[in-house]
Amino acid sequence: MANHADNNSSEPAEYVPPVEDDRLAERLAAITEEEAEARARALRAGLSDYELAEEDAAVLEYDEDDEDYEPYVAAPPALAVIGRPNVGKSTLVNRITRSKEAVVEDVPGVTRDRVSYDAEWNGKDFTLVDTGGWEQDARGMHKRVAEQAEMAVDEADAVVFVVDGLVGATAVDEAVVRMLRRKKKPVLLVANKVDAPSHMSEVYGLWNLGLGEPYPVSALHGTGTGDLLDAAVKALPEFAEHGGMVPTGGPRRVALVGRPNVGKSSLLNKLAGSERVVVDAVAGTTMDPVDEFIELGGQTWRFVDTAGIRRRQHMASGSEYYAMLRTQRALDKAEVAVVLLSVEDPVSEQDVRIIQMAVDSGRALVIAYNKWDLMDEERRYYLEREVSRDLAHIAWAPRVNVSALTGWHKDKLAPALETSLASWGRRISTGRLNAFLGELVAATPHPVRGGKQPRILFATQPSTKPPRFVLFTTGFLDPGYRRFITRRLRETFDFTGSPIEVSMRVREKRKRK
């Protein structure tokens, strides 16, 4: 007895019958729901003649998913963490969130964007916002990083200002204090890296900054963070001042993925209508996944900009390696992936690998071709050839042509996302599924192999997101025939934009006693 899965990745050519019957939909429409359900019950009862494994029970018995909309609630308050570079802000964020979400490396400037994380302390939910290092006279990319940190303060309900407790207040710290006074937000002063009582001499001097009592903590070891969080939740209001309303289940989550410098951050900024993410001509500017709530197509989405994936995971090192892990984690948390491709460059092996990474994660999928407004007719001709050759295995994914720079066709993104997510959550009734397979196999039976012809005894869809189908059979189905079934499932029930999985469970007939 064996279980075999067939996910729709690129494989050898599928089985194509000599003469394919295209009247399947017409024949299915002629079967009533009552007839389909009666046929499925009979097939299900017939499985009692076969040796079933213990895990088959969970597949054969499931409850329909409850897809009701949930009410909206006010967004939780936001707590921004700011300070000059390399004082341990991201380490403190990881300590508060009890995770290793924020990229940390022993060099300044690893964090560049303002990055939001869900956090909780003593039953109080809040959003923790990590920022890049604030510098008064920064230029170039560092100036944009500082601007992001200042915007985080503008949108926060309270601020944690982190200084190096071993160094004491610097001129840059004093400049941060002047900026914070202009913002008129509640501020908690944190002296980080205080690992021993002997380090307290520098902490006492921080009273001179005029921000009240400093909180000595060690973000690395966790000491002092409890007192800091107690004070932080007291300073936070019940709801976010700038957060608006969000569904209790959370907005649909969208991950923006792709190679470095294909325009992911530019697209997020255009969708947000503000400079939400640091954008620079240097590839690899984004290191942490960056969340943003976006109003698009009449609803709120939670977009996540991710680090560009430039190489295989085992070839990456340092902060790039951890950024790649966080990109994978962002994909795992998302519901739909938007893979951004640049039409200026040929479809590369890395593009194909990133797309397959999204498919393997089981996410719904949309392919967005960026910089379309810059493409001429000659490049369009070659691009179509590359798509037909290299991306034929994901021809089921919706395709959107956009310009992240100008916002051209950004309104077409929401319908594509909705289409993919609807397919991702689609469930086919057991009766309709078995009626489909019965008509399909009758018209195009499995080829005879070695004098035997495997039969499909019963089929069910035990789960969605992504849709997963299980076929109980009397023998192995050829891989090509399984791909043929997958393709006809897509065509008949419209799974545009969603990977689907078809697996089989070969079961033998019970021996008569």
Kindly tell me the sign of the dihedral angle through the C-alpha atoms of 346, 350, 353, 354: negative
CA–CA distance from 130 to each of 91, 116, 133, 157, 384 (Å)? 10, 6, 10, 14, 41
Is 301 labeled as ligand-binding?
A: no
Residues 6+ apart with CB under 8 A from 116: 78, 127, 128, 129, 130, 290, 291
Is 243 labeled as ligand-binding?
A: no
Is 8 labeled as ligand-binding?
A: no
Is 195 labeled as ligand-binding?
A: yes
Instruction: Please check whether residue 316 is in contact with residue 297, taking contact to mean a CB–CB distance below 8 angstroms.
Output: no
Joined tokens for residue 311: 């190489």
Is 192 labeled as ligand-binding?
A: yes
Residue 278 and residue 290: Cα distance in Å, rounded?
10
Is 86 labeled as ligand-binding?
A: yes
Is 134 labeled as ligand-binding?
A: yes
Q: Name residue 160's beta-bridge partners.
A: 81, 188
Is 88 labeled as ligand-binding?
A: yes
Is 269 labeled as ligand-binding?
A: no
Is 407 labeled as ligand-binding?
A: no
Is 85 labeled as ligand-binding?
A: yes
Is 259 labeled as ligand-binding?
A: yes
Residue 218 and residue 191: Cα distance in Å, rounded?
8
Is 114 labeled as ligand-binding?
A: no
Is 185 labeled as ligand-binding?
A: no
Is 306 labeled as ligand-binding?
A: yes
Say whether 214 sits in a helix, a strand or coil.
coil
Full 3-state SS string of 420-438: HHHHHCCCCCHHHHHHHHH
Residue 208 and residue 213: Cα distance in Å, rounded?
10
Is 297 labeled as ligand-binding?
A: no
Is 474 labeled as ligand-binding?
A: no
Is 305 labeled as ligand-binding?
A: yes
For the CA atoms of the chain, what is the radius of gyration? 28
Is 262 labeled as ligand-binding?
A: yes
Is 465 labeled as ligand-binding?
A: no
Joined tokens for residue 440: 């399909």
Is 130 labeled as ligand-binding?
A: yes
- Binding-site entries: 83-90, 130-134, 192-195, 258-265, 305-309, 370-373
- Binding-site entries for GTP: 83-90, 130-134, 192-195, 258-265, 305-309, 370-373
